[in-house]
């Protein structure tokens, strides 16, 4: 599979007389893909049952006829206004019980079976019409599930669905009462119909109740997506993808991914640094116009793994960047413009991590409605915006670099689990504890060491290709992972806060993590406010979270107060706290040589990723950096032959 570029386009936003010229310019720029359709429901079906396919037929003809491959999106993220008349209770409801009204997008409730049927219907009609069309190269279901905080809905439909889900899971109210521990505070139920959604309670609801609701809500996203996939597959062999978001943990992407042919995500590096990456002011200022140097890579590696969850027989799992930031966005607290060269660097970084395609969002900046201040490859007046030349440069470079899409096997792996994110959001215990932030801090440390990284799902059964595995923050340690750890020959660091709950969200006995052959128990855990650290012997510290470890395994590191900080000297070890960044660096520097690896101690902003034949070097820093004697300018990309 060749590496390719594309763009997101909205033919319905522009006069038809512009389409042919737009298509020709896309081809001239060197683009392969054009994604269309994902918000166009009101133009496809302006009244219930009245269809206007003609304009979409012509748009596909014009774009495809110019030589582009079309990614067709189902428009289910934007049900038209008439849907509300047809299904007045299809709106999502927030935790305060207020409906989330019409007038933007994603106002539907995933639990509403009537809306789900309508989503299935429109996806099926589109697939029937275009499924075998020669210009259709791929599908996108809906748009960014969960965006705008839409996975959880506290609607009547959700309440009914949740009760049913619980009845199927527990079979009897008694079993549910036992699993949840409802004897506590006299919360016992006599029937499933008595169980409400876990919002608007006087004080915190039972965490087992919340966790089951989170699982239920995630399952609704899976079911909603699956309904569309089933329809599309009846009529089309083209791969079906979804465009996931950055730092979105409200549903299990591995489970949605299992029904698709791969994964794609929407990468907005500068927007994300401004509104969803933990960072101090100095880091935000330094990477203001580049984005956090690890955030894109983390999601590339995560979604490559989600793509591999695809169970479609014989298919090559694909992974793409479906939307790539081209210039300032409109939605972050502040929206600076990228450093010249970043729209190119971001694309090459995605390719180095194995992407097949990178599509810029969007072709032309919209002069109307909500995203007027969001850059495109063209300005609203159709003059080139700065990213157009960078996209053209990448396209020209792709011709020079015939390497197929893909990346080298990784030395290091990080286990990432969505359920754990829900569990620790439900019971943070420390205000700033976040399973995502913990996993990301471990990931960043691996990147500073210069390692290639795979992200693995929590039920991964095989670790044999890796030298180093990090498994922080896992609520439970799954049976397949326990078996893989038993067979592992490298070093696996498990913890902090790993294996400390049962799947029912209770404290297990024996207490966790209870790893086979390793006598280590977390005797108690404490959370620490910002600025408070637990210093370690020999330097470094834990912050935010500490597990007090006990047991008969060898202690290989202690905190200054004498408490074990790491126990176990074999392949599996337990880490008893959340290391600060400098402490991660110390731990990896000490561990890697024994695994035949070297900590490269990369300059702040310099990052690496290997493909089968090349080492890519990226400079996210605002000043030049040197890698093995070669200077890399800001936003620079080096491609060095391997071996
Ligand atoms: C994405 C979304 C697009 C557009 C873009 C703006 O989250 O999928 O439709 O809104 O953000 O950055």
For the stretch 275-287, pLDDT in tens is 899 999 999 999 9
Residue nearest atom 10 of ligand 1, based on CA coordinates:
371
Helices marked H in 401-478: 418-426, 435-448
Out of 367, 398, 429, a domain closes at 398
Residue 379 lies in a domain: yes
pLDDT at 517: 84
In a domain, 15, yes or no: yes
Tell me, using a 6 A CB cutoff, whether residue 268 lines ligand 1.
yes
- Taking alpha carbons only, the member of 287, 293, 300, 362 closest to residue 327 is 362
Number of domains in the chain: 3
Task: Please tell me whether the overall predicted TM-score, pTM, comes out greater than 0.95 for this model.
Answer: yes
Residue 175 in any domain: the answer is no
Residue 322 falls inside a structural domain: yes
The residue whose CA has the least distance to atom 11 of ligand 1 is 266
- Return the residue whose CA atom lies nearest to atom 12 of ligand 1: 329
**Same domain for 630 and 578:** no
Tell me: do 443 and 355 sit in the same domain.
no
- How confident is the model at residue 172, as a pLDDT? 98
pLDDT at 21 (0 to 100): 98
Mark whether 140 and 222 lie in a shared domain. Answer: yes
Q: Can you spell out the DSSP letters for 286-322?
A: HTTTT--TTHHHHHHHHHHHHHHT---TTPPPEEEEE
Are residues 128 and 259 both part of a single domain? yes
Rounded distance, CA 479 to CA 372, Å? 50
Substitution site in 144, 246, 320 for ligand 1 pocket (most atoms within 8 Å of beta carbon)? 144
Residues 363 and 389 placed together within one structural domain of the fold: yes
Same domain, 220 and 147: yes
Distance (angstroms) between ligand 1 centre and the Cα of 494 equals 36
Active-site residue set: 144, 323
- 392 and 452: one domain? no
CA dihedral 276, 148, 454, 619 (to 10 degrees): -40
> Is 634 in the same domain as 501?
no
Rounded distance, CA 641 to CA 2, Å? Answer: 19
Same domain, 125 and 52: yes
Residue 619 domain boundaries: 608-641
Q: What is the CATH number of the domain that holds 482?
A: 3.40.50.880
* Structural domain ending residue among the three candidates 364, 398, 432: 398
> How are beta strands 606-610 and 555-558 bridged, if at all?
unpaired
600 domain residue, yes or no: no
Please name which of 201, 89, 218 lies closest in space to residue 165, comparing C-alpha atoms. 218
Residues 155, 214: one domain? Answer: yes
In a domain, 635, yes or no: yes
- β-sheet bridge partners, residue 102: none
> Are residues 452 and 515 both part of a single domain?
yes
Give me the phi and psi of 406, to 5 degrees please.
Answer: 145, 170
**What pLDDT score was predicted for residue 316?**
67
- CA nearest to 515, candidates 546, 488, 545, 535: 488
Report residue 526 as tokens. 């404490």
Inside any domain, residue 128:
yes
Q: Which two tokens mark 308?
A: 């591999």
Which protein residue's CA is at the shortest distance from atom 1 of ligand 1? 266
Q: Does the beta carbon of 77 sit less than 6 angstroms from any atom of ligand 1?
A: no
Buried b (16+ CB within 10 A) or exposed e, 368-377: eeeeeebbbb
Ranges of the chain with pLDDT below 70? 313-316
Angle between helices 418-426 and 207-235 (to 10 degrees): 150
Question: Which of 398, 432, 456 is the C-terminal boundary of a domain?
Answer: 398
Q: Are residues 156 and 255 in the same domain?
A: yes
Binding site membership of 361 for ligand 1 (Cβ less than 6 Å): yes
The predicted pLDDT at position 314 comes to: 59
144 lines ligand 1 (CB under 6 A): yes
Residue 315 has a pLDDT of: 66
């Amino acid at each position: 599979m060749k590496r390719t570029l594309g763009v997101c386009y909205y033919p319905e936003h522009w006069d038809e007389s512009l389409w042919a010229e737009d298509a020709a310019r896309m081809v001239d720029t060197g683009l392969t893909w054009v994604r269309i359709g994902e918000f166009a429901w009101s133009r496809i079906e302006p009244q219930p049952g009245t269809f206007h396919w003609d304009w979409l037929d012509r748009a596909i003809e014009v774009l495809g006829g110019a030589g582009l491959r079309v990614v067709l999106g189902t428009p289910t993220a934007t049900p038209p206004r008439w849907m509300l008349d047809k299904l007045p209770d299809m709106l999502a409801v927030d935790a305060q019980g207020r409906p989330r009204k019409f007038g933007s997008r994603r106002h539907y409730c995933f639990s509403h079976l009537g809306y789900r049927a309508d989503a299935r219907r429109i996806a099926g009609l589109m697939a029937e019409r275009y499924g075998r069309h020669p210009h259709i190269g791929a599908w996108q279901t809906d748009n960014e599930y969960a965006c705008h905080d839409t996975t959880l809905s506290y609607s009547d439909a959700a309440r009914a669905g949740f009760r049913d889900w619980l009845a199927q899971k527990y079979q009897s109210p008694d079993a549910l009462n036992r699993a949840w521990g409802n004897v506590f505070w006299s919360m016992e139920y006599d029937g499933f119909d008595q169980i409400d959604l876990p919002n608007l309670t006087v004080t915190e609801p039972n965490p087992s109740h919340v966790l089951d609701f989170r699982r239920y809500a995630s399952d609704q996203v899976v079911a909603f997506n699956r309904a569309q996939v089933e329809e599309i597959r009846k009529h089309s062999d083209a791969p079906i993808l979804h465009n996931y978001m950055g730092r979105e943990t409200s549903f299990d992407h591995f489970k949605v991914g299992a029904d698709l042919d791969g994964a794609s995500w929407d990468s907005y590096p500068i927007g994300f640094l401004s509104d969803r990456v933990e960072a101090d002011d100095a880091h935000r200022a330094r990477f203001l116009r580049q984005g956090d140097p690890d955030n894109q890579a983390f999601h590339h590696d995560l979604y490559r793994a989600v793509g591999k969850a695809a169970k479609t027989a014989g298919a090559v799992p694909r992974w793409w960047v479906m939307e790539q930031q081209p210039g300032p966005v409109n939605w972050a607290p502040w929206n600076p413009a990228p450093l010249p060269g970043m729209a190119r660097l971001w694309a090459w970084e995605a390719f180095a991590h194995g992407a097949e395609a990178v599509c810029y969002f969007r072709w032309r900046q919209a002069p109307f409605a909500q995203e007027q201040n969001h850059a495109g490859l063209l300005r609203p007046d159709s003059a080139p915006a700065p990213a157009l030349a960078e996209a053209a440069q990448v396209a020209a470079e792709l011709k020079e670099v015939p390497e197929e899409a893909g990346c080298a096997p990784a030395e290091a792996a990080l286990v990432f689990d969505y359920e754990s994110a829900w569990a620790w959001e439900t019971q943070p215990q420390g205000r700033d504890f976040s399973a995502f932030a913990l996993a990301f801090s471990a990931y960043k440390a691996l990147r500073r060491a210069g390692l290639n990284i795979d992200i693995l799902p929590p039920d991964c059964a095989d670790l044999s290709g890796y030298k180093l595995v990090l498994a922080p923050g896992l609520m439970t340690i799954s049976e397949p992972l326990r078996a893989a750890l038993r067979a592992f020959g490298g070093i696996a660091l498990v913890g902090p806060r790993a294996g400390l709950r049962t799947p029912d969200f209770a404290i297990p006995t024996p207490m966790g993590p209870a790893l086979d052959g390793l006598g280590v128990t977390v005797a108690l855990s404490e959370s620490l406010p910002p600025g408070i650290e637990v210093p370690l012997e020999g330097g470094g510290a834990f912050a935010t979270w500490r597990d007090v470890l006990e047991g008969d395994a060898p202690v290989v590191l202690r905190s200054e107060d004498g408490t074990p900080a790491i126990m176990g000297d074999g392949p599996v070890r337990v880490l008893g706290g959340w290391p600060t960044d400098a402490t991660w660096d110390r731990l990896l520097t000490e561990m890697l040589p024994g695994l035949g690896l070297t900590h490269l101690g990369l300059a702040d902003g310099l990052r690496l990723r290997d493909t089968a034949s090349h080492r890519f070097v990226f400079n996210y820093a605002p000043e030049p950096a040197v890698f093995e004697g070669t200077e890399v300018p800001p936003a620079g990309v080096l491609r060095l032959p391997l071996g």
